[in-house]
Copies of this chain bind each other. A is one copy, B any other.
Amino acid sequence: MAKNIVARSKDYPQWYLDVIKAAELADYSPVRGCMVIRPHGYALWEAIQRDLDRRFKATGHQNAYFPLLIPVSFLEKEAQHVEGFAMECAVVTHSSLKKGEDGHLQARSELPEPFVVRPTSETIFGHMYAQWIQSYRDLPLLINQWANVMRWEMRTRLFLRTAEFLWQEGHTAHETAQEAQEETRRMLDVYAQFAHQFLAMPVVKGRKTESEKFPGAVTTYTIEALMQDGKALQAGTSHFLGQNFSKAFDIKYLDRGNQLQHCWTTSWGVSTRLIGGLIMTHSDDEGLILPPRVASTLGAVVPIYRSDEEKEQVITYCKRLLAALCGEEHLQAALERDKNREIISVFTDHSATQKIVLDLREGRAVEKHFHWEQRGLPFRFEVGPRDVANEAFVLKTRFDNSKEFCKLAEVDPQWLQKKVQTVQEAMYQKALQFQRSKTVEVESYDQLKEAVQAGGFVRCWFHEDPQVEAQIKEETKATVRCIPLEQPGGVGKCIFSGRETKEQVLFALAY
Chain A residues with a Cβ under 8 A of chain B: 27, 29-31, 34-39, 41-43, 45-46, 50, 53-54, 57-60, 62-76, 82, 86-98, 104-107, 114-117, 124, 127-128, 131, 137, 143, 147-148, 150, 152, 164, 166, 333, 337-338, 341-342, 345, 347, 350-352
- The residues of B that contact A131 with a CB separation of less than 8 Å are 27
What is the minimal beta-carbon distance from A183 to any residue of chain B, in angstroms?
12
A105 and B72 in contact (CB under 8 A), knowing A91-B92, A97-B89, A124-B30? yes
A62 and B76 in contact (CB under 8 A), knowing A67-B36, A117-B92? no
- A37 contacts B65, C-beta separation under 8 Å: yes
- What are 27 A-B pairs with beta-carbon distances under 8 A? A27-B128, A29-B66, A29-B124, A30-B124, A31-B115, A42-B64, A43-B62, A46-B63, A50-B351, A53-B352, A54-B350, A57-B347, A58-B333, A58-B337, A67-B164, A87-B96, A89-B97, A90-B92, A90-B115, A91-B93, A91-B97, A91-B107, A94-B114, A96-B152, A97-B114, A106-B114, A117-B117
> For the complex, what is the distance from the CA of A30 to the CA of B114, rounded to whole Å?
13
Task: Select one of B68, B87, B91, B92 contacting A148, CB under 8 A.
Answer: B68
- A351 contacts B54, C-beta separation under 8 Å: yes
- B65 contacts A42, C-beta separation under 8 Å: yes
A355 to B, closest residue via Cβ = B57
Task: Select one of B36, B67, B115 contacting A64, CB under 8 A.
Answer: B36
> For the complex, what is the distance from the CA of A50 to the CA of B50, rounded to whole Å?
11
> For the complex, what is the distance from the CA of A462 to the CA of B73, rounded to whole Å?
54
- A36 contacts B96, C-beta separation under 8 Å: no
> For the complex, what is the distance from the CA of A70 to the CA of B70, rounded to whole Å?
19
> For the complex, what is the distance from the CA of A143 to the CA of B37, rounded to whole Å?
11
- The residues of B that contact A97 with a CB separation of less than 8 Å are 72, 75, 86-87, 89, 91, 114, 116
Task: Select one of B46, B57, B66 contacting A352, CB under 8 A.
Answer: B57
Top 4 A-B pairs, shortest CB-CB distance: A39-B62, A57-B352, A91-B94, A34-B67
Residue with the highest number of chain B CB atoms closer than 10 Å, among A37, A82, A341: A37
A92 to B, closest residue via Cβ = B90
- A92 contacts B95, C-beta separation under 8 Å: no
> For the complex, what is the distance from the CA of A43 to the CA of B150, rounded to whole Å?
25
Copies, count: 2
What is the minimal beta-carbon distance from A116 to any residue of chain B, in angstroms?
7
> For the complex, what is the distance from the CA of A345 to the CA of B70, rounded to whole Å?
33
What is the minimal beta-carbon distance from A336 to any residue of chain B, in angstroms?
10
What is the minimal beta-carbon distance from A420 to any residue of chain B, in angstroms?
16
- B86 contacts A90, C-beta separation under 8 Å: no
What is the minimal beta-carbon distance from A105 to any residue of chain B, in angstroms?
5
- The residues of B that contact A50 with a CB separation of less than 8 Å are 351
> For the complex, what is the distance from the CA of A152 to the CA of B27, rounded to whole Å?
29
- A104 contacts B76, C-beta separation under 8 Å: yes
Task: Select one of B29, B65, B70, B342 contacting A45, CB under 8 A.
Answer: B65
- A91 contacts B86, C-beta separation under 8 Å: no
What is the minimal beta-carbon distance from A177 to any residue of chain B, in angstroms?
16
- The residues of B that contact A74 with a CB separation of less than 8 Å are 30
A73 to B, closest residue via Cβ = B104
> For the complex, what is the distance from the CA of A63 to the CA of B44, rounded to whole Å?
11
- B42 contacts A63, C-beta separation under 8 Å: yes
What is the minimal beta-carbon distance from A156 to any residue of chain B, in angstroms?
12
- A107 contacts B96, C-beta separation under 8 Å: no
> For the complex, what is the distance from the CA of A87 to the CA of B43, rounded to whole Å?
35
- The residues of B that contact A337 with a CB separation of less than 8 Å are 58-60
A39 and B93 in contact (CB under 8 A), knowing A69-B164, A352-B57? no
> For the complex, what is the distance from the CA of A107 to the CA of B72, rounded to whole Å?
9
> For the complex, what is the distance from the CA of A443 to the CA of B124, rounded to whole Å?
54
> For the complex, what is the distance from the CA of A143 to the CA of B40, rounded to whole Å?
11
- A93 contacts B96, C-beta separation under 8 Å: no
A57 to B, closest residue via Cβ = B352
Given A31-B124, A58-B333, A72-B106, 12 new contacts (CB under 8 A)? A27-B131, A29-B128, A34-B67, A41-B64, A45-B65, A68-B150, A68-B164, A72-B105, A73-B105, A86-B98, A91-B93, A91-B107
What is the minimal beta-carbon distance from A26 to any residue of chain B, in angstroms?
9
> For the complex, what is the distance from the CA of A136 to the CA of B42, rounded to whole Å?
24
- The residues of B that contact A86 with a CB separation of less than 8 Å are 96-98, 105
A89 and B95 in contact (CB under 8 A), knowing A31-B67, A60-B338, A107-B114? yes
